[in-house]
Amino acid sequence: MIGIVDYGAGNLASVRNAFARLDRQAAIIRQPGEIEGCDLIVLPGVGSFQRAMAALHEGGWADPLLAFARSGRPLLGVCLGMQLLFEGGDEHGPTAGLGLIGGRVTLMTPSAPLKVPHVGWNSLEHVREHPLFSGVKHHVDFYFVHSYHCLPNDAADVVARCDYGGAFVAAVARANVAGTQFHPEKSQPSGLGILENFAAWDPPC
């Protein structure tokens, strides 16, 4: 089963509905103890890095999520959920993240006249092959809503980039942990393709 984590900062219904369209069993989980019964986990997110991490800690989600990731089962962070996978973020002050991927999350600084937040459709450049992008065409548009972006320490963790007044990281993956800065659940057929690939993903331990 695919578990969608409800920690009070996620876009839950649209993610669940996207999996339903794919005939994939997915459930919103509201208690940290439910994580252990899942085969795959989606960590969605909207809002600020600092508040989302506070919600994960206060709700008792952080340690079970880390244990799940360390078990080798697939974990996908979406939008803010991707950012939370990193070691830390700068929004509203320095805040430690889950630390599953090395690097930090910082404010976007696109060249003029572009402003933040970055909202709307933008095309991806695939940096390397990855099972989540199997069958997904290059340079297809995906839907973004964000003001902060991820700066991985290791370039090998980058799967796709995008340009918005400068290049930024649009997707990452390390072992069984992956993230998309865009919203696959809102990105029409290509986004559904990524969710279908995630549901079928069997990363090496």
| This prediction's pTM | 0.96
Say if strands 2-5 and 26-29 run parallel, antiparallel, or are unpaired: parallel
Write out pLDDT tens, residues 103-157.
999 999 999 899 999 999 999 999 999 999 999 999 999 999 999 999 999 999 9
Catalytic pick among 38, 146, 183, 196: 183
- Bond preceding residue 113 cis, omega within 30 of 0: yes
CA distances (Å), origin 120, targets 9, 41, 116: 20, 26, 11
Structural domains in the chain, CATH included, are 2-199 (3.40.50.880)
Res. 80 pLDDT band, cuts 50 70 90: very high
Catalytic, out of 79, 130, 146, 149: 79
pLDDT tens digits, one per residue of 182-202? 999 999 999 999 999 999 998
Residue 185 annotated in active site: yes
Q: pLDDT tens digit string along 153-190?
A: 999 999 999 999 999 999 999 999 999 999 999 999 99
Dihedral pair phi/psi, residue 165, rounded to 5°: 65, 30
Catalytic-residue membership of 34: no
Residue tagged active-site, from 118, 130, 162, 185: 185
The model's pLDDT over 32-55, given as tens digits with 9 standing for 90+, comes to 999 999 999 999 998 899 999 999
Q: What does the chain come to in residues?
A: 205
| Model pLDDT, residue 205 | 60
Active-site annotation holds for 183: yes
